[in-house]
């Protein structure tokens, strides 16, 4: 009611105003001033009444609060996004910069001379296309293996409980808690001479050699048995997700005549699209960026190059590549390399530029893939919090 009254008041005031405007003929300045005074006094009263109204007060406070929060949030997000994007910008700028600009103090972000020289050199040093193919193959297959093992285990530990399954869960969590360095060395010995109670010895006459150049099967095997890169975390995530799915769904499937496996395959898995995306993304990216295990199992080599290990040793091969380009008379970049001179090619900055470029090239495929998967991934973040 009060609100309506106030509205009426305000309307009256407006009407008065209109009347005043309609008869502006022959008024002294003093009268005008008086009128203005009265009008402003009325407006002032209305505003004051508004300010004192407790309901409006609360509304106002909430509005101002949310505005301030929004501004603050905007600042924080903008700052953090800047921090995240800064190195990517830097690497992009370095990648397309002519090395001549490296010694130029005036060039900071936008290169003065563009060139694909850095990209070309990085691709050569990384053995890019072959490494890319190998990386893609290894990451994709082991991601599928990881998904298979962890989804099954996560489902079994959350919905198909039996006495003692909690103990199994904690034992599996132990693999996350114990640092991989502790297991790594003896596991590496073991994989170099793999055998299960003399089974392969009897069958084939020799034990299996599961590590060494090109034997990426180690990754598939460990992923398939839930011992890949942070598999325990994925099991945890799947368990967390499946626990949240309402029991009624399972019961109705059971009443409709679906068996246990059928329930899992056609009721639970389609719901788990989000968490599957999340896990797949992490598994893929971690396998892609992995240095530790690739080095430990000695997978990478000249016949089977992989991006990460090529990248670590990139600076060793740089100078010999430059020398090779200098010797090759028909090489398109020969003039450029000779023109650069040792002042730049022996400069650590140049080395750094090449490393940054190769890092960008190494991560570019996942970045592009992320752009496409991102929507599903974010959706997965929201969905994996399903509650009954």
Partner 1 sequence: MENVNELQNKNSHKPSSFLNVLKKIMSFIVKNWFFVFFPCRLIKELIYDKLRYEQQKVFVSWLFLLPTILGFILFFAYPLGKSFLYSFSTVKSNGDFVFGMVFPKGNTGYDFSAPGTWDLWNNYKYALRVNADFPVSLWNTVVNTVVDTGVITIFSLLVAVMLNGKFKGRTLVRAIFFLPVVFNSEALEAAKEATEGMSAVMNAQGSGVLTQLFDLKLFLQGLGMPVQLVTFLSNITQTIYSTISYSGIQILIFLTAIQSVPKHLYEAATIEGATGYEQFWKITLPMVSPMILTVVVYTIVDSFLRSEICDIMELVLQNNEYGYYAAMSWLYILVSLVLMAVITGILSKVVFYYDEKK
Residues 335-364 that bind partner 1 (CB under 8 A): 348-349, 351-352, 355, 358-359, 362-363
Of 14-22, 326-334, 337-345, 378-386, which part binds partner 1 (CB under 8 A)?
378-386
In whole angstroms, what is the distance from residue 118 CA to residue 95 CA? 6
Task: Say if CB 345 and CB 112 are below 8 A apart.
Answer: no
Q: Structure tokens of 302?
A: 């000249």
Alpha helices in 290-313 (DSSP H): 292-296, 307-312
Which of 109, 114, 199, 324 touches partner 1 (CB under 8 A)?
109
Q: CB–CB of 113/101 below 8 Å? A: yes
Neighbours of 30 (CB within 10 A): 8
Q: Tell which one of 48, 51, 59, 70 touches partner 1 (CB under 8 A).
A: 70
Per CB under 8 A, the list member of 15, 166, 225, 252 interacting with partner 1 is 225
Nearer residue to partner 1 within complex by CB, 65 or 339: 65
How many angstroms separate the CA atoms of 15 and 19, rounded? 6
3-state DSSP assignment of residue 386: coil
Check residue 100 for interaction with partner 1 (CB under 8 A): no
Q: Which of 83, 167, 327, 329 binds partner 1 (CB under 8 A)?
A: 83
Minimum CB separation from partner 1 for residue 286, in Å? 9
Q: Given the rule CB under 8 A, which of 16-24, 38-46, 257-265, 320-328 is the region that contacts partner 1?
A: 257-265
Binds partner 1 by CB under 8 A, chosen from 10, 206, 259, 320: 259
Beta partners for 194?
208
Q: What secondary structure does DSSP assign to 363-388, as a single string?
A: HHHHHHHHHHHHHHHHHHHHHTT---
Binds partner 1 (CB under 8 A): choice among 33, 44, 87, 110:
87
Single residue of 15, 32, 81, 319 touching partner 1 by CB under 8 A: 81
Cβ atoms of 183 and 296 closer than 8 Å: no
> Residue 161, interface with partner 1 (CB under 8 A)?
yes
**Any bridge partners for residue 97, and if so which?**
114
């Amino acid at each position: 009611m009060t609100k309506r009254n106030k509205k009426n008041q305000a309307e009256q005031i407006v009407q008065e105003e209109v009347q005043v405007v309609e008869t502006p003929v022959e008024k002294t300045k003093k009268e005008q001033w008086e009128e203005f005074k009265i009008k402003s006094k009325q407006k002032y009263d209305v505003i004051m009444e508004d300010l004192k109204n407790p309901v409006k007060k609360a509304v106002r406070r909430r509005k101002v609060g949310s505005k301030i929060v929004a501004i603050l949030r905007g600042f924080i997000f903008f700052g953090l996004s800047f921090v995240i994007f800064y190195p990517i910008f830097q690497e992009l700028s370095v990648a397309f910069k002519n090395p001549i600009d490296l010694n130029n103090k005036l060039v900071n972000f936008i290169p003065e001379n563009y060139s694909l020289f850095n990209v070309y050199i990085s691709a050569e040093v990384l053995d890019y296309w072959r490494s890319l193919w190998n990386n893609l193959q290894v990451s994709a297959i082991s991601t599928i293996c990881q998904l298979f093992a962890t989804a099954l285990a996560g489902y079994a530990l959350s919905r198909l409980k039996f006495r003692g399954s909690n103990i199994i869960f904690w034992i599996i969590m132990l693999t996350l808690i114990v640092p991989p360095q502790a297991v790594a060395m003896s596991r590496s010995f073991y994989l170099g001479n793999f055998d299960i109670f003399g089974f392969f010895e009897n069958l084939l006459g020799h034990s299996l050699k599961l590590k060494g150049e090109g034997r990426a099967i180690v990754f598939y095997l460990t992923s398939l048995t839930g011992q890949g890169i942070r598999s325990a975390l994925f099991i945890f995530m799947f368990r967390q997700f499946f626990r949240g799915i309402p029991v009624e769904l399972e019961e109705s499937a059971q009443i409709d005549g679906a068996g246990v496996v059928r329930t899992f395959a056609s009721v639970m898995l389609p719901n788990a699209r989000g968490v599957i995306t999340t896990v797949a993304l992490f598994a893929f990216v971690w396998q892609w960026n992995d240095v530790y295990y690739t080095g430990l199992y000695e997978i990478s080599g000249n016949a089977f190059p992989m991006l990460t290990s090529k990248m670590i040793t990139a600076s060793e091969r740089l100078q010999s590549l430059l020398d090779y380009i200098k010797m090759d008379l028909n090489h398109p970049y020969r003039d450029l390399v000779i023109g650069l001179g040792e002042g730049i090619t022996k400069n650590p900055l140049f080395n750094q530029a090449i490393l940054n470029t190769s890092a960008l090239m190494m991560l570019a495929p996942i970045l592009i893939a992320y752009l496409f998967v991102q929507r599903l991934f974010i959706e997965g973040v929201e969905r994996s919090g399903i509650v009954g």
